[in-house]
Amino acid sequence: MAPSVPLLSATSVTKAYAGVPALSGASLVVAPGEIHALMGENGAGKSTLIKILAGVVAADTAEITVNGERVSIDSTKAAYRLGLRFIHQEFNVVPTLSVAENIFMGRRYPRRAGLLVDWAELNREAQRALDRLGIDHIDPSQNLGALSLGDQMLVRISAALLDDAKLYVMDEPTAALTRDESERLFRVLREIRASGSSVLYVSHRLDEIMALCDKATVLRDGRSIDSGALTNITHDDLVALMIGRKVEEAYPKATAKPRETTVFAASRLATVGLNPVSFSLREGEVLGIAGLSGSGQAELIRSIFGDAKVTAGTMTLSGAPYTPSTPAAAWQSRVAYVPRERRAEGLVMRRPIFENITLAHLKRQSRAGTWLTPNREKRFAAELGANMRLKAVGPAQDVLELSGGNQQKVVFAKAVAGNPRLLLLEEPTRGVDVGAKYDIYSIVRELTAKGAAVILVSSDLPELIGISDRIAVMRQGEITTIVDAAGLREDDLINLCYGRATGMVA
Ligand SMILES: Nc1ncnc2c1ncn2[C@@H]1O[C@H](COP(=O)(O)OP(=O)(O)OP(=O)(O)O)[C@@H](O)[C@H]1O
């Protein structure tokens, strides 16, 4: 049988930013009717390759064919005309327009008498697009910007699925989705494959890739290290390919047990969206927070971080009343926070790495009289960066220029820089590669060994079980139970989140 013509082939792709290579002769070949994973460590070059295919970034060199024909992709329009669709966090949305307007952006709106936009029909058509993903909780007439990140992603995906394209490129589509939403997306992706179109799928979630994808291409340092079917490769081999070393285990072992001293306590703490909750945390303890998204996790974290008006109840920190009125006050009390929406909340994109890391701590540091000078700041940031294998030219590089996963490492470095007593983590390893995840967990362990307490909100259940000492389950704004993490099984935790009986807790 003659080998089939690839749907897309990109070879000898090179790209350097200010002389620093991001891609050095990478290649990618996608066949018709397959789901193809694009994998690699943070900074390996995945996004750069995708942006080149999307016509957003110009390659220095590239040979690209679509259905066997040589093409040049010099604009987003050119990519669109070739039947390539991109679903990307950063592309193609206007938060101030409605969901329906975003879905139909660049397309002809339905009109009445050929003149006036028929808004009712536009909304109905948008609802039909959402229906394909089984979405019935999003109102097509509301502003896109008012939706959660997960819902915004669902809208983007619905829009891309409107017309029959050849290749759908998705960069971490499930990062902000719940388990159910992800499952619905996977069903649609399998339909796309069955219809003969293809999907290029970028993700750091190996389990997802193993379950969904047919083939994978692994990038490392801007080169394609390997490409092939996923049938005969193990999870561990894939990890080793990606990061060039073996990771022995997913979670570093705790070296110390939580101590007796209480660091933080909440007593009947409440805010809008959070019914009274009470719990306490000991030195060196990690309390995981599980629950379906929107169960009150964000409200709990914001209350502790001085970013939500506490309506009832009290908090103590190291035994003293703790009433942070602003996030700045929380930082001053050595309560640190890694937010989930790092772009919006965690970083000043057009400032250097070292400033981002030390910004929140400067006041206290200047009082203590240490690392005041920019050089000291830079050295300190460089050391922290090295601990986390931050891939950057140096501490003076602007955060904007880093890959997504490396930006997340900067947010994490900022949080640990002030030696926190209480560390609040919301999805701290989202978008972070397996090797760096391990490094982040190791730093959490180092902090707890020194006596810090951690509250970890995560939708990654193995991570919650692997890192936490105890797990509080939240449902409808309440903590319904707190269980020990040791020996807890994933499906028991899922059942607790959904409020189903498990037989394991009274
Ligand atoms: N606009 C830019 N200016 C300078 N350097 C950049 C820019 N965009 C990306 N880079 C660099 O190119 C390299 C590849 O980054 P890229 O975003 O393609 O990685 P990635 O594989 O998508 O990583 P991640 O998994 O973290 O998203 C990185 O070293 C990054 O710092």
Closest Cα to atom 1 of ligand 1: 401
Q: 344 C-alpha vs ligand 1 centroid, how far in Å?
A: 19
Q: Is 403 in the pocket of ligand 1 (CB under 6 A)?
A: yes
Q: What separation in Å is there between the alpha carbon of 241 and the centre of ligand 1? A: 19
Is residue 342 a contact partner of residue 406, using CB atoms and an 8 Å limit?
Answer: no
The candidate with the shortest Cα–Cα distance to 101, out of 118, 76, 130, 123, is: 123
Helix 149-160 and helix 179-194, axial crossing angle in degrees, nearest 10: 10
36 lines ligand 1 (CB under 6 A): no
- Confidence grade of residue 361 (pLDDT, cut at 50, 70, 90): low
Atom of ligand 1 nearest to the CA of 392: 31
Extract the tokens encoding 128.
């039909």
Distance CA 426, CA 440 (A): 13
Encoded tokens for 72 = 């040049």
- Do residues 436 and 402 touch, judged by C-beta distance below 8 A? no
pTM over 0.90: no
Determine which of 122-131, 231-240, 297-306 has the lowest per-residue pLDDT on average: 231-240
The pLDDT score that the predictor gives to residue 500 is: 65
Residue 56 Cβ < 6 Å to ligand 1: no
CA 45 to ligand 1: nearest atom: 18
Q: State if residue 242 touches ligand 1 by the CB under 6 angstroms criterion.
A: no
Among 3-7, 19-23, 476-480, the minimum mean pLDDT is found in 3-7
Collect contacts of 493-501 with beta carbons under 8 A, ≥24 apart: 493/290, 493/461, 493/464, 493/465, 494/179, 494/461, 496/290, 497/290, 497/291, 497/292, 497/295, 497/473, 498/292, 499/475
How many residues can be counted in the chain?
A: 506
Largest pairwise CA distance in the chain: 76
pLDDT, residue 504, reads: 44
CB 463 within 8 A of CB 429: yes
Cα 151 to Cα 30, 86, 344: the distances in Å are 29, 17, 16
Q: Which residues contact 115 (CB under 8 A, 6 or more apart)?
A: none
CA dist., res. 412 & res. 418, Å (int): 11
CB 339 within 8 A of CB 346: yes
Percentage of the chain modeled with pLDDT above 90: 42
State residue 373's pLDDT score.
Answer: 66
Range in 327-331, 332-336, 371-375 the model is least confident about: 371-375
- Comparing 270 with 505, which gets the higher pLDDT? 270
Look at strands 470-475 and 8-17 and give their pairing: unpaired
Q: What band does 182 get if pLDDT is binned at 50, 70 and 90? A: confident
Nearest-CA residue for ligand 1 atom 29 is 43
Burial 404-440, CB ≥16 within 10 A → b, else e: bbbbbbbbbbbbbbbebbbbbbbbbbbbbbbbbbbbb
DSSP string, 440-469: HHHHHHHHHHTT-EEEEE-S-HHHHHHH-S
| Strands 223-229, 262-271: pairing kind | unpaired
User: What is the pLDDT at residue 335?
Assistant: 95
398 lines ligand 1 (CB under 6 A): no
More confident residue, 352 or 448: 448
- The values of phi and psi at residue 287, to 5°, are -105, 115
Ligand 1, atom 6, lies closest to the CA of 401
Q: Residue 180: what pLDDT?
A: 77
Q: Which residues, 6+ apart, have CB-to-CB distance to 458 below 8 Å?
A: 288, 289, 290, 425, 426, 427, 428, 429, 464
Decide which of 503 and 12 is more confident. 12
- The whole-number average pLDDT for the span 125-152 is 86
Counting ligand 1 atoms within 8 A of each CB, the residue from 402, 432, 434 with the most, and so the one to mutate, is 402
| C-beta of residue 13 within 8 angstroms of C-beta of residue 190 | no
| ipTM for the assembly | 0.96
The residue that leads in pLDDT, 160 or 321, is 321
Residue nearest to atom 25 of ligand 1 (CA): 42
Closest ligand 1 atom to residue 49 Cα is 18
Q: Domains of the chain, with CATH numbers?
A: 8-243 (3.40.50.300), 261-334+420-436+448-506 (3.40.50.300), 343-418 (no CATH)
